[in-house]
Chains A and B, each alone.
Chain A
């Protein structure tokens, strides 16, 4: 008689990392409280991802809330989104990588309060994503405040006398809201409570992900889920409360199911060709030429990360655009990111410009290699951010003080005074463009001049700006020595 042989039937899904590498805490267990519904739903999602063999193309969007750290657990693509914005981020992921399976995982504070707009718009657009909505009737992470889904009469830290619908309205039923829209293909509510509903919820999860594999569109699965900590209950009681109280208000139904019909062919919409785009945006391409970089660039000036700063009205944003435009005309990768002060005019403004031979990861620049300070406050604010030995271009007409660091490569230019002499103080920005181009060799003179055709909308000003660039070029050449 041989001993009975047992085979593993259900084990930790492979979609989870073996160890959860994180800053603190035991790497073998999740950070969730005992009995938390997040863990149960994570497991069902992970199991379905493994069974459908989609881990390699799944992008899991973690929300803000207790599940903010979902990316510690899921061995998929991961993005963590700002509060309530997971559907918007998911939309971006889906548009950029149309063949990915996007999961937007959200709590009820995240989805039904701060993110209500995002979820409704994404649902209405029928974005290809699976939304898993954890309804635990409370804000868990922040200590149990009232959520849009808190039941009438339920005590929370912000409804200590019980939720009063006369003041706080009735709980939002998200499935019911979303099923009013035309686009969603699957909308269902399950509950993580008791054998029957736990197994049913597992099926809803699988169906939603299967629909993503079949490219059907927007799926929404709400899950009534325990937050024993926030509710002040032990886990078994919390589970009972879900079916006894929550399910009464939130019926456990399938509201929309269009997954039986033949799926519509999944087409990635074509982008209009560049010429067509120019036409649509009314950009004239007449006379546009591509230039090759005219001179060898010293390594320290190559691939600059530039911050241009000054008063609104000094043309700092246009100078930034000019730098990016020239880089683009010379075949480089560029980005331009404006940052406005609260005032549109008269306040301070700055922009971030990357010009690079490589793909640019982020348009945001925190450690610039070049700073253009058009006025005194800009010098004070951005000089400290420059990398060691970085290039500081100072408009000395408006900056009386000396730079405070001694390690910098400083180009001082009285650009505003020079522009005044030319006849228009606002041309200071193009003088600096010319000076930067000549001083660093990053931009050819012909490129800089030709960029004006696109940069300057009012054609009668092109001539003035040409002169400004020439003047700056001369200055920069001399300074370069």
Chain B
């Protein structure tokens, strides 16, 4: 199978995000974007574009909200 798999993936809990966009400023591959629907706190949350993540974790450390971002890494197949 030739198709390249992303090394990482992020999940953003849209209701815990405060829309500060710090994650966007640090993502080296620009794979995060602001959404257009207000969340329950009244912020425009950021979400994963759906592809390109390297699993570097920078967005996680730049994000002030404890539970907003979870970073996943591709499991190395044996």
Contacts and interface: CB of A to CB of B under 8 A. Distances in A.
Given A34-B19, A195-B26, A8 B75 contact: no
A268 interface: no
Interface string B1-39: 100011011000001101111101110100000000000
Which range holds the interface residue count of chain B?
A: 35 or more
Contacts of A36: 64
Contacts of B6: 4
A398 B61 CA distance: 68
Given A34-B20, A40-B62, A202-B61, A6 B67 contact: no
A5 B41 contact: no
A100 B63 CA distance: 29
Given A29-B65, A30-B64, A194 B26 contact: yes
Given A9-B73, A198-B62, 19 more contacts: A5-B75, A5-B77, A7-B74, A10-B69, A10-B71, A16-B66, A32-B64, A34-B19, A34-B43, A35-B20, A38-B64, A40-B62, A43-B63, A195-B28, A195-B62, A198-B58, A199-B61, A235-B21, A239-B22
B10 to A, nearest CB: 9
Nearest to A240: B25
B52 interface: no
28 contacts: A4-B6, A5-B74, A6-B74, A6-B75, A7-B72, A9-B57, A9-B71, A10-B60, A10-B69, A10-B70, A26-B40, A29-B18, A29-B65, A30-B64, A34-B19, A35-B20, A35-B64, A36-B64, A37-B64, A39-B63, A40-B62, A40-B63, A195-B28, A198-B26, A199-B58, A236-B20, A236-B24, A239-B25
A28 B16 contact: yes
A74 B28 CA distance: 31
A13 interface: yes
Given A4-B5, A35-B18, A194-B26, A42 B60 contact: no
B41 A26 contact: yes
Contact of A40 (B57, B64, B67, B75): B64
A44 interface: yes
A30 B41 CA distance: 12
Mostly, the B contact residues are loop
B22 A12 contact: no
Given A42-B66, A235-B22, A236-B21, A29 B16 contact: yes
A46 interface: yes
Contacts of B55: 9
A73 B69 CA distance: 17
A324 B66 CA distance: 49
Contacts of A37: 64
Interface of A: 1, 4-13, 16, 26, 28-30, 32-40, 42-44, 46, 73, 194-195, 198-199, 202, 228, 234-236, 239
Contacts of A236: 20-22, 24-25
B57 to A, nearest CB: 5
A29 B68 CA distance: 9
Contacts of A38: 64
A234 B74 CA distance: 34
B70 to A, nearest CB: 5
Nearest to B28: A195
Contact of B15 (A7, A12, A28, A42): A28
B64 A195 contact: no
Contacts of A32: 64
Contacts of B28: 195
Nearest to A225: B64
Which among B20, B63, B72, B77 has the greatest number of chain A C-beta atoms within 10 A? Answer: B20
Nearest to A7: B75
B61 A198 contact: yes
Given A9-B72, A40-B61, A35 B22 contact: yes
A46 B24 CA distance: 23
A46 B62 contact: no
A16 B66 CA distance: 8
A442 B66 CA distance: 54
B1 A1 contact: yes
Nearest to B1: A1
Which among B6, B25, B28, B77 has the greatest number of chain A C-beta atoms within 10 A? Answer: B25
